[in-house]
Structure 1
Amino acid sequence: MTTYPWLSTLWLLPVVGAVVVLALPATRRVLARGVALTFSLAALVVAVVLAARFDPGGEQYQFVESHEWIPSFGAGYTLGLDGIALVLVLLTAALMPLLILAGWHDDRAAGSGRRVAHTYMALILLVEAMVLVSFVALDILLFYVFFEAMLIPMYFLIGGFGPRTTDVQLRQQRSRAAVKFLLYNLFGGLIMLAAVIGLYVVTARDGLGANGAGTFDFRTVVAAANSGALGAGPAVLNALFLGFMFAFAVKAPLWPLHTWLPDAAVAATPSSAVLMMAVVDKVGTFGMLRYCLLLFPDASGTYAPLVITLAVIGIVYGALLAIGQTDVMRLIAYTSISHFGFIILGIFAMTSQGQTGATLYMINHGISTAALFLIAGFLVSRRGTRVIAEYGGVQKVAPVLAGTFLIAGLATLSLPGLAPFVSEFLVLIGTFTRYQVAAIVAVSALVLAAVYVLWLYQRMMTGPVKKGNENLYDLVPRELAVVAPLIAALLFLGLYPKPVLDFIDPAVSQTLTTIGRHDPAPTVPAPEAGAANLQEGGHK
C-alpha cells in the first residue's frame, strides 16, 4: 500500500511558495508577502498533521520515504521522523509564519529595488525548506547537502537585508558579518565533508552497501556502528567524530567557535537573526544528538569530558559578556551562546534527563529568543538605535511592549513557571548525576542571567522617560499577533510541558539504548546498609 509522502510535502511546500513568490509581478509586494505567509501556514498544518499521526510508542522512525538518488554511491532520498526531529519540525513550522509577519516590512531595508520583497520572502522560505530536510533526512549525504545549502540564502538574508541605515560603515560591517558567517560555516562544512567521505570509505571497506559498495544510509551505518560491524579502528572513528563535531560546533555555536554569531545577529534584521539563532543553529545541536552520538558512540564517550568543558566555558562566557554589552541586540545574541552551552551540556551528559532537557531546551530557547529578540527589534525600529543607554522609561509610553519584554526576559533567565526553567532544570539534574563539577559551575549562569536580564530591563524600561522616547508607541496589531503566541507558548510549556515531553522521552530512551548508555546508579546507601551502619556505630 502506498502511503502519502507527508515529509516530502512538508519541505516542498516552502520551496513551491518561494517559486510562486518569485513568479509574481514586481509591483505586487503585498501579495508576495501574503503568498509567503500562506505557504508557511500550509507547512505548519502539515507539521501539525504529522504530530497528530505520530505514535510515540511506535517505530523509532515513522513516515519513512525511501527512493533511489545516486545508487552508485549508495545515496538515497530517505526521509523519516522520530520524536526529537518532530518537535524541531514543529518549532520551525510554527516560528516561520511569525517571522514573516514580524519582518513584513524588513525588505525595505535593502532599498527600493522592484523585486526586493519577492527575494526576501523567497529566501526565508528556502531556508525553512532546507532546515526541514535536515531534520527529517535519514541519508547522511542528503543531510550534508542541505546542511551546507542553507548557508547560501542565510548569507544573503544577513548581508542584503540588514536594518535600515545610511551609514556606509555600518553597511560595510554588515557585509563583513555575512562573509564571516559564511566562511566559518563553510570551513566547518568542509571538515565535515572529509568526515562524510571517510565514513563512506569505511562502509565500502566493510561492504555495508549494495554489491559490496559503501552506503550513506543512516540507519544501516548506525546499526553497524553499534553492533561492532563497522571495522574501522578507534583512531579512525575518533577522527571521523571530530569532523562531524567540528561542523556542528560551528553551527551551534560552541565556544570558542562562536565569534561569528554576535556580528551576524546584529547585522541581520530581527526576523532573520531569529531565523538564524532559533532555527538554523538548532541543526547543529540536532546533528550532535543524532549523528555524533549514534554514528560514533565510543568516540562520543571519549570526547564527552572535553565537549562538556567547552560547553560550561561557553555558558559562563556568554553570560559574562552579555552583562557588559551596551548594544541590546548584541546582548541578546550573547545570551544565546550561553543557552547553546546548556543544550550541548545536556546532550553530552548522556543521561535521560540531560538529553530530554537538551531537546526541550532547543524548543524553549527558540521560543524565548524569538520573543525577546523580536520585541527588542520592534523597539529599536521605533527609536532608531540599539544603544541601551538611549532608552529609559519605555514602560510609561509603551506598557504592553515593556510588559512582554519583561516576560520574555524572565523566560531567558529561566524563571520557574516559564518554559526554559523545566529544560534547564532537567539539563542540570542530568549533568549532575555524572559530572557534578560541570553542573555546579553551570549553575552560576543562573545568577549571571538574572543580572543581565533585570539590569537590561531596569535601564531600558524603568525610570523617567528619556529625551527621544516620548513618541514611542506601543505594539500594533500585527506585532501583537507575533508576540502573543510566543508569550502564550512560554507560559503553557512552563506550566505543562508534558505534550512535548511525550514525544521526546521515547526518542531519547531509544538513542541511549542504541549507544549502550544508561543513567548512573543512585549513590545513596540502601536502607539496610544505613541501618547496619547505625547499629555498628551504636555498638562502638
Structure 2
Amino acid sequence: MNDTLLQYALIGAVVLPLLGAGAALLPAPPGLRGRDPEQAVLRHGVTVTGAVLALTLLLAAGFDHDDPARMQAVTDADWIPALGVRLHLGVDGISLPLLVMTALLTFLCALYSYFRMPAGPSTAGFVALLLLLEAGTLATFAVLDLVLFFLAFETVLVPMYFLIARWGEKGRERAAWRFVLFTVAGSVVMLLGLLLVGVEAGTFDMVRLAEQHGDGLSRTVQVVAVAAIGIGLAVKAPMWPLHSWLPDAHTAAPTVGSVLLAGVLLKMGTYGLVRIALPIAPDGAHVLAPYLAAFATVGIVYGSLACLALARPGARGDLKRLIAYSSVGHMGFVLLGIATLTPTGVNGALFANIAHGIVTGLLFFLVGAVKGRLGTADLDALAGTTGAALYARAPRLGALLAFAAVASLGLPGLAGFWGEMLALFGAFAPAEGLHRGAYLTFMALAALGTLLTAAYLLTVVRRVCMGDPAERAAEGAAEGRPAGGAGAVHGGGAAVPAGARPAAAATALALPPAGGPAPGTAAGAAVLPDVRGYEFAAWVPLVVLTVLAGLWPAVLLGLTDPAVRTLLGGS
C-alpha cells in the first residue's frame, strides 16, 4: 500500500479525535439533532471513534509485515527549530498493536456509552473528554520526539481526571485528585530525565537516539536519566510501591473510565520503558534492571495477596477494587519481562501488555454490568443473600465473567498465558551481566504469583457465579430482607443502594415485569436480565481477540520480535 496513504491514515487517527472533541461541544446541526440532542452527541462519539478505528485498521492492513522493525507511515517536519523539536510520527511492530487496541477499546466504550451513559453533568462534555483521551493516547504511541512524547503523555491526565471526578461514583473527587497528584509528580521527574537525554545527546529525536544506542551519553548520565524517566513511567505502569492511586481510581471511575484506564493508560508507562529507556540509555537500563525486576516481583505477589484478602468472606471487598489490584500483579509481569533486557522477556512484556488490555477491559465491562444489575460490587453482598448466582440467574453473563477470569489467570490457549510465560522464560535466562541467581529468585516468586492469581480469581467465580438463588433468597427472607437482598433489582424497577447518587436510578436497567421467575430461575429469586444486545456488541470483539491471541500468538510476536531486537541493539 502507498506509504503516503499510510502516513495520512496515521495523522488522521491522531488528529480526528481532537477535531471530534471540539465538535462535540458545539450545538448539533438541526438535521442531526433528532429528538434527543444528547443521543446525537453520543452518536457523534460512536461515529468519530469508529472512523479512528477504521484508520488504524487501514494502517495495520497496509503495514509492511515483512519489515516490522522499520518505522513506517513516517511524518517528520520542523515544529520548534530553535529547540530542535520536530513533528515526528511513525509506527513499527511495537506501536502498531497498541494503536489498534486503543482505537478498538475507545470505540467499544463509545458504543457502550450510547446505550448506557453514566450519570453526570454533561453528555457533550463526556464525549469530548473521551475523544481527547483517545487523541492523547494514540499520540503517545505514535510520536517519535521526546518533547512530543511528554506532551502527549500529559494530555491524557486532564480528560481522565474529569471522567473520574464528574462521572464517577462514591469517593470520585478524592480518587481523581490522587490520580492527578501521583502522575503529575512522576511526570515532573520524567521531564527532567527527558531533557537531560535531549541536551546531552544534542537531539530529542527518538529514532536517532535509539540508533546511537547510548553513544554520546556517559554512564552516569544514562543511570540518572533512566532513574528519572523510569519513575515517571512506573507511576503510570503502575509499579509497586507507586501504585496506590490505582485502586481508588478504578473503584470510583465509571465503567468506561475503568476500561480505558486499565486497557490503555497503564500501557503508556511500559511502552515508554521499551521505546525510550532500553534503546536510548542501555547502560543505565542495565544498572537499574535488577531493581526494576525486584519491584516488579514484589508487585506480582503483593497484588495477588491483596486480591486474596479482598476475595475472602467477610472482607467486604469491592469487585472493581479487586480487579484493580490484579492489574498491579499483571503489570508486574510486564515490568519483569522488560527488566530481563532479553528479546524473550521484552516480547513477553509487550504480549502481556496487549493481553492485559483486552482481558482486563472485558473484566471491567462485566463487573460494571453486574453492579448495574444488582446495585453493588461488594463481594460479600454478591455471594450472600443478594445472591448474584449468575450461572442460574444470568447464565450468559456468568459464563462471560468466568471466561474473562480464566483468561486473566493465564489459562493456556487464551491471551493471558503467553506474555507471562515468556516473561518467566526471560527471567530464567536474563541478559549477560545480570545476576542469574537473583533473577531465578524473581522467577520463582513470580511463578508463585500465578498460583495466587488462580486462587483469587477462581474464588471470585465461585462466589459470584455459583450458588442456589432460591436458597439465598430464603436466607434473606428469614433475616427480614426482601428476596434478592438490598440493592437488588426487581421486576419493573431498581433499588438504588445506600449512598448512591439519585441520578444512578435513571441509568439502572429495567427488568421484565414480575409475575413469576424467568425460565431457568429458581422461585423466590429476583429476575435478573442476561446479556443485552449492545453488551454483546461491546464485549464479543474482546472475547474473540482473547481466543485468537491465545491460539495464534505468532501474529503479535511476529510484529514485535524484529522491532525489539533492533531496539536492544540487534541482540
Q: Does 1:132 align with 2:171?
A: no
Amino acid at match of 2:134: E
Between the aligned partners of 2:107 and 2:54, the Cα distance in structure 1 is 11
Between the aligned partners of 1:447 and 1:221, the Cα distance in structure 2 is 41
- Assess, with a 3 A threshold, how the Cα gap between structure 1 residues 223 and 379 changes in structure 2: closer, same or farther: same
Alignment of 1:119-158 (within 5 A): 119-158=125-164
Between the aligned partners of 2:287 and 2:566, the Cα distance in structure 1 is 21
- Assess, with a 3 A threshold, how the Cα gap between structure 1 residues 108 and 441 changes in structure 2: closer, same or farther: closer
Query: Residue in 2 aligned with 1:99?
Result: 109
Q: Does 1:71 align with 2:81?
A: yes
Which structure 2 segments of 5+ residues have no match?
311-316, 431-438, 473-482, 489-525
The structural deviation recorded for 1:38 is 1.1
Instruction: Tell me if structure 2 keeps the 8 A contact 1:367–1:486.
Output: yes
1:263 to 248, 257, 267: 248
1:348 to 330, 339, 355: 339
1:215 to 168, 182, 203: 203
Instruction: Tell me if structure 1 keeps the 8 A contact 2:259–2:362.
Output: no
Instruction: Tell me if structure 1 keeps the 8 A contact 2:115–2:534.
Output: no
Amino acid at match of 1:72: A
Q: Does 1:6 align with 2:9?
A: yes
- Assess, with a 3 A threshold, how the Cα gap between structure 1 residues 225 and 511 changes in structure 2: closer, same or farther: closer
Query: Residue in 2 aligned with 1:504?
Result: 560
Instruction: Tell me if structure 2 keeps the 8 A contact 1:102–1:374.
Output: no
Instruction: Tell me if structure 2 keeps the 8 A contact 1:107–1:120.
Output: no
Instruction: Tell me if structure 2 keeps the 8 A contact 1:85–1:136.
Output: yes
2:263 to 278, 286, 305: 278
Amino acid at match of 2:125: T
The structural deviation recorded for 1:132 is 0.6
2:236 to 230, 251, 274: 251
Between the aligned partners of 2:80 and 2:550, the Cα distance in structure 1 is 45
Report the secondary structure of 1:159's partner residue: helix
Between the aligned partners of 2:554 and 2:548, the Cα distance in structure 1 is 10
Alignment of 1:431-442 (within 5 A): 431-434=427-430, 435-442=439-446
Instruction: Tell me if structure 2 keeps the 8 A contact 1:57–1:506.
Output: no
2:46 to 13, 30, 37: 37
Larger mean Cα displacement after TM superposition, 491-500 or 334-343:
491-500
Report the secondary structure of 1:57's partner residue: coil
Report the secondary structure of 2:467's partner residue: coil
Larger mean Cα displacement after TM superposition, 395-404 or 18-27:
18-27
2:401 to 402, 405, 410: 405
- Assess, with a 3 A threshold, how the Cα gap between structure 1 residues 488 and 2 changes in structure 2: closer, same or farther: closer
Q: What's the C-alpha RMSD, in Å, of the aligned pairs? A: 1.6
Q: Does 1:485 align with 2:481?
A: no
Which structure 1 segments of 5+ residues have no match?
164-169, 204-213, 519-540
The structural deviation recorded for 1:103 is 2.8
Report the secondary structure of 1:386's partner residue: coil
Larger mean Cα displacement after TM superposition, 21-30 or 325-334:
21-30
The structural deviation recorded for 1:197 is 2.2
Between the aligned partners of 2:565 and 2:222, the Cα distance in structure 1 is 24
Amino acid at match of 2:89: L
Between the aligned partners of 1:482 and 1:107, the Cα distance in structure 2 is 14
The structural deviation recorded for 1:277 is 1.2
TM-score (norm 1): 0.88
Query: Residue in 2 aligned with 1:24?
Result: 27
Between the aligned partners of 1:333 and 1:61, the Cα distance in structure 2 is 34
Instruction: Tell me if structure 1 keeps the 8 A contact 2:3–2:72.
Output: no
Amino acid at match of 1:331: L
Query: Residue in 2 aligned with 1:290?
Result: 275
Query: Residue in 2 aligned with 1:209?
Result: none
Instruction: Tell me if structure 2 keeps the 8 A contact 1:278–1:365.
Output: yes
The structural deviation recorded for 1:97 is 1.3
- Assess, with a 3 A threshold, how the Cα gap between structure 1 residues 323 and 103 changes in structure 2: closer, same or farther: farther
Instruction: For residues 220-278 of structure 1, give each alpha carbon's deviation from its aligned partner in whole angstroms, at most 9, with x where no partner exists.
Output: 2233343x2x1x43222211111110000001000000000000001101110110111
Instruction: For residues 91-118 of structure 1, give each alpha carbon's deviation from its aligned partner in whole angstroms, at most 9, with x where no partner exists.
Output: 11111111112233554421xx4xx111
- Assess, with a 3 A threshold, how the Cα gap between structure 1 residues 401 and 158 changes in structure 2: closer, same or farther: same
The structural deviation recorded for 1:47 is 0.8
Query: Residue in 2 aligned with 1:15?
Result: 18
Q: Does 1:378 align with 2:369?
A: yes
Report the secondary structure of 2:364's partner residue: helix
2:464 to 436, 460, 463: 460
Instruction: Tell me if structure 2 keeps the 8 A contact 1:107–1:161.
Output: no
Report the secondary structure of 1:104's partner residue: helix
Report the secondary structure of 2:242's partner residue: coil
The structural deviation recorded for 1:464 is 1.7
Instruction: For residues 321-340 of structure 1, give each alpha carbon's deviation from its aligned partner in whole angstroms, at most 9, with x where no partner exists.
Output: 01111111100001000000
- Assess, with a 3 A threshold, how the Cα gap between structure 1 residues 509 and 462 changes in structure 2: closer, same or farther: same
Instruction: Tell me if structure 1 keeps the 8 A contact 2:179–2:246.
Output: yes
Report the secondary structure of 2:90's partner residue: strand
Amino acid at match of 1:503: L
The structural deviation recorded for 1:14 is 1.3
Between the aligned partners of 2:457 and 2:190, the Cα distance in structure 1 is 36
Between the aligned partners of 1:236 and 1:397, the Cα distance in structure 2 is 60
Instruction: Tell me if structure 2 keeps the 8 A contact 1:343–1:358.
Output: yes
Query: Residue in 2 aligned with 1:83?
Result: 93
Report the secondary structure of 2:87's partner residue: strand
Instruction: For residues 434-459 of structure 1, give each alpha carbon's deviation from its aligned partner in whole angstroms, at most 9, with x where no partner exists.
Output: 22221111000111111111111111
Amino acid at match of 2:441: V
Instruction: For residues 469-514 of structure 1, give each alpha carbon's deviation from its aligned partner in whole angstroms, at most 9, with x where no partner exists.
Output: 5232111101111111111111121111222222112111212225
Instruction: For residues 29-69 of structure 1, give each alpha carbon's deviation from its aligned partner in whole angstroms, at most 9, with x where no partner exists.
Output: 11111111111111111111111111133362111101111
TM-score (norm 2): 0.83
Between the aligned partners of 1:497 and 1:447, the Cα distance in structure 2 is 23
The structural deviation recorded for 1:460 is 1.1
Instruction: For residues 309-358 of structure 1, give each alpha carbon's deviation from its aligned partner in whole angstroms, at most 9, with x where no partner exists.
Output: 00000000001101111111100001000000000111111112111111
Report the secondary structure of 1:83's partner residue: coil
The structural deviation recorded for 1:76 is 0.5
Between the aligned partners of 1:135 and 1:6, the Cα distance in structure 2 is 14
Report the secondary structure of 2:413's partner residue: coil
